[in-house]
Structure 1
């Protein structure tokens, strides 16, 4: 019997420490309406068009994300569940601001119209009333350990709850807030980007070989659940890439004209029943066609 291989990888373990060099780890701003300015990765420079400003220190409890998904079971005459429908979905964030003299934080907690600056910033007047709080955006930069970085973006949130505020000698003044997340123009409430240094490229690269000598017909390619149909028997890699991206796999890259190297992919499958001529079977292998 062959020896078993330990499939666990500690580089897939991530911690949630703040990246304090990235504006203290947390930034806030106006609601984001232009998705074109969203970050491309956890390490990319944040577009100034997003208008984000530092919110400073938060407590050691960090940030807690809560997702509530309600479902409804549809049953048939016999009482058997035949379908499960999503009936409600919500996402919220909870954190505690520590910089109670940070004007950006105060305007988030009390509303922009209720925080008035005077005397060159030396004086701040805060009013508290029942007016609805303004919507904002919030971004967190996180060091995941071992070269990993995480960026979390909520493009449109509103403070729905502020915890008790204490003025005591033994501690700083803090604002514990709950932020309700609202969908952007694409219907998404939260985004996460994860960058890693320690990755085996072969984990996300596949070599695809079609049956040898096919003279006509078409084939279908499925990558991570997205399917491009009606590919020509001799399709160029650029064409295959274009078609699979049109199908929804936006970041997949395809090199070669057969065999093909497919990168930024985990699951790759092929249907060659409509190919004519040729011999052998299609093969999908881990790794690259260029060796």
Structure 2
């Protein structure tokens, strides 16, 4: 049972992870929230039947073509997602305003990857050469999240490899439970506590440091994080760090210096 995970995209020439535990390269971007349908892997093949002259029975099937695809639905409207959905189009941000000029789809081959928490195991899938080959309709409704259905086709390399899979066991069930509880709390009890504090006019009074990744679409989605946190804290400072989603893994020295200075 796949409980949770993440989807990544990176330039085609990015360094690939070599196991399930190695951090994704700095050039990789976390695609963000995925719908609860998860990720669907499909392996299809077209075959040609070879029939014998005697009786016309099938004596062999030859694979004439094959395809491996990964389908998922992104439910976060970010620069990364918009550019994946609208192949060949780019989001341009000027003076805090982002504009997407939608163009006719063009080639956009990239490296893709998925981390999947499967029971008590960590499964990692890397697609060295892939491309969004199909997209679903976008529905704009007041009671639904905007969803971007994406199908990635994995292309074969020189040796025929279309994808690589690794498995890393998360052996302690308590670790898995704690990971899930952290996500669950952020959507439930943590938010309730924050809304209660805000309604009561409470603010954080101790010195507060805000750090964030510059390559995780945070500013594109929400604006200046320090400005946002000034509504919550009275003594605040912070800055972005040149890293992807996992700052502690991708820029440990820079993060450590920022924390030590604070």
Structure 1 outlier segments of 4+, above 6 Å: none
Confirm whether residue 107 of structure 1 aligns to residue 88 of structure 2.
no
Name the larger-Rg structure.
Answer: 1
SS of equivalent residue, structure 1 residue 60: coil
Match of 1:163 in 2: 136
Between Structure 1 and Structure 2, which shows a larger proportion of strand residues?
A: 1
**Of 62, 70, 75, which residue of structure 2 is paired with 1:85?**
62
Match of 2:155 in 1: 182
Q: Quick one: distance in 2 between partners of 1:116 and 1:65? A: 32
Aligned residues: 170
Map Cα deviations across residues 188-212 of structure 1 (whole Å, 9 max, x no partner).
11221112366xxxxxxxxxxxxxx
Report the TM-score when normalising by structure 1. 0.54
In the alignment, is the contact (CA less than 8 A) between 2:88 and 2:104 conserved in 1?
Answer: no
Map Cα deviations across residues 68-123 of structure 1 (whole Å, 9 max, x no partner).
112222222212333321111011111111111x111111111354322222xx32
Deviation, structure 1 residue 125: 0.9
In the alignment, is the contact (CA less than 8 A) between 2:89 and 2:103 conserved in 1?
Answer: no
SS of equivalent residue, structure 1 residue 18: strand
SS of equivalent residue, structure 2 residue 83: helix
Confirm whether residue 126 of structure 1 aligns to residue 107 of structure 2.
no
Quickly say closer, same or farther: Cα 1:115–1:133, change in 2 above 3 A.
farther
SS of equivalent residue, structure 2 residue 140: coil
**Of 94, 100, 123, which residue of structure 1 is paired with 2:71?**
94
189-198 or 87-96, larger mean C-alpha shift: 189-198
Between 1 and 2, higher relative CO (CA 8 Å, sep ≥ 6) is seen in 2
Q: Quick one: distance in 2 between partners of 1:98 and 1:197? A: 27
Map Cα deviations across residues 173-227 of structure 1 (whole Å, 9 max, x no partner).
11111222211232211221112366xxxxxxxxxxxxxxxxxxxxxxxxxxxxx
Q: Provide structure 2 residue ranges, at least 5 long, that are not aligned to the other structure.
A: 172-262
Q: How does 1:49-60 map to 2 (within 5 A)?
A: 51-60=27-36
Match of 2:16 in 1: 38
Q: How does 1:1-291 map to 2 (within 5 A)?
A: 15-19=1-5, 25-32=6-13, 37-48=15-26, 51-78=27-54, 79-100=56-77, 102-111=78-87, 113-119=89-95, 122-146=96-120, 148-196=121-169
Q: Quick one: distance in 1 between partners of 2:17 and 2:152? A: 21
Between Structure 1 and Structure 2, which shows a larger proportion of helix residues?
A: 2
RMSD over aligned CA atoms reads 2.0
Q: Provide structure 1 residue ranges, at least 5 long, that are not aligned to the other structure.
A: 1-14, 20-24, 199-291
In the alignment, is the contact (CA less than 8 A) between 1:108 and 1:133 conserved in 2?
Answer: no
Match of 1:263 in 2: none
Q: Quick one: distance in 2 between partners of 1:104 and 1:132? A: 16
SS of equivalent residue, structure 2 residue 72: strand
Deviation, structure 1 residue 26: 1.4
SS of equivalent residue, structure 2 residue 153: strand
In the alignment, is the contact (CA less than 8 A) between 2:133 and 2:151 conserved in 1?
Answer: yes
